[in-house]
Amino acid sequence: MNPAPTLAQLRSAALGHTLWPRTGLQAAITRLGFVQADPIRAPARAQDLILMQRVRGYRAGDLERRYAQLDVEEDVLPNYGFVTREVQRLLHPRQHRPLRIETEAPGLLEQVLALAQPGASLHPREVEAALGRQAVSNAWGGQSSASTRALDALHYRGHLRVVRRDSGVRVYGPATHLQAAEPLTVEQRTRGVVLLLARLYGPLPQASLGYLLSLCGYGLPGLKADLRAALKAAVGETLAHARLDGVTYLWPADASLDATASPGVRLVAPFDPLVWDRRRFALLHGWTYRFEAYTPPAKRVMGYYALPVFHHERAVGWANLKVVAGELTSEVQLIPGVRHTAAFTRGLDAELARYRAFLGLSS
């Protein structure tokens, strides 16, 4: 029987599993499997911040610029982001559940889908011009274009794919690659999703994996018996586990806890795999990180878009970066008990230089 891992081992493995030496763009996307997206630029979008830590010479916007040449698709797992086509096969067909747009605009999805002929590209403005303008309520209590909501719904269900973006607006086309792919069994899809989440966020608390799976749809009421059995088998067959301080941690059975990350200082995105699971972050690093972009300014403690700061495998504080008049400014706060040493200063300077190159700023 192997001895239980230490907290330091779990912390080191968490970084080593997802923060490897920088590689090529496609290799990094394939290895991650999922890159979360977010439109806020502070100083760049989440997907770019995540990839710049793992891709040699990455520049902000490279993913969007090279999207058409990459094995990558926009999809939801469980948040919106980018996946490889192999991963996307695990997500479709999604469990059918009624969408609000279907009740607010009956028949609209079918009308939009009829426009999606082979080779066609559908810009929301063009769809609205063809079918007429109609407004529907959105999740924030306001009004949205019904045609845009219909495009989003058809994309979510795997009928459409994003072929490109025009000034940030998603342009869609038929998802022929999904329709032509040989369907996977429930067991294959479930095992694949469990393993992907464990690789991306492991070692992670068992409760966190349950939460992630519920976001992916595995926690829906009335889950079929065969899916429940497949889920139980997938967890039991593909994951290793250990218990430390009353918490059960899970990770892929073929992954070593001896994985280590490169030394130095890293400033990572709020949605980076190292940070996304706030439960794991607090357990491994001993303090709570908060994303405060939607917190009223007067109540913010860390800042609008605080980037967690890692130094030698520990999260030691946070930084807020801004571009002002073409120059990168930084405000760095360390947690109590962490000193601003000469080694940390050198590492921080090197990391800020990488950020300047990433953002296309002069040194």
Q: What is the pLDDT of residues 261-272, one digit of tens each?
A: 777 999 999 999
The stretch 358-362 carries a mean pLDDT of 92
Hey, what are 222's tokens? Answer: 């009335």
DSSP state of 358: H
pLDDT of residue 135: 64
- The answer to whether 249 and 205 have CB atoms below 8 angstroms apart is yes
Is the predicted pLDDT of residue 21 greater than 70, yes or no?
yes
Lowest mean pLDDT segment, chosen from 86-90, 110-114, 130-134, 346-350: 130-134
Q: What share of the chain is helix, strand, coil (3-state, %, to 5)?
A: 40, 20, 40
pLDDT of residue 140: 52
pLDDT of 137 strictly over 70: no
User: Is residue 357 predicted with pLDDT exceeding 90?
Assistant: yes
Asked if the model's pLDDT at residue 221 lies above 70, the reply is no
Is residue 360 over pLDDT 70?
yes
CA distances from 252 to 67, 248, 286, 298, 342 (A): 29, 14, 24, 42, 37
- Of residues 160 and 146, more confidence is placed in 160
Mean pLDDT calculated for residue range 338-350:
94
Q: At 70, is the pLDDT very low, low, confident or very high (cuts 50, 70, 90)?
A: very high
Per-residue buried b or exposed e for 236-271, using 16+ beta carbons within 10 Å of the residue's own CB: eebbbebebeebebbbbeebebebebeebbbbbbbb
Structure tokens belonging to residue 172: 């869609």
**Spatial distance between the Cα atoms of 147 and 112, rounded to a whole number of angstroms:** 7
Residue 92 above 70 pLDDT? Answer: yes
Binned at pLDDT 50, 70 and 90, residue 147 comes out as confident
323, pLDDT greater than 90: yes
Of 132-136, 253-257, 300-304, the range with the lowest mean pLDDT is 132-136
Average pLDDT of every residue of the chain: 90
Please report which confidence band the pLDDT of residue 138 belongs to, taking 50, 70 and 90 as the band edges.
Answer: low
Percent of the chain with pLDDT over 90: 69
Of 61 and 142, which is predicted with more confidence?
A: 61
Q: What is the pLDDT of residue 218?
A: 73
> What is the reported pLDDT for 96?
66
Better pLDDT: 69 or 232: 69
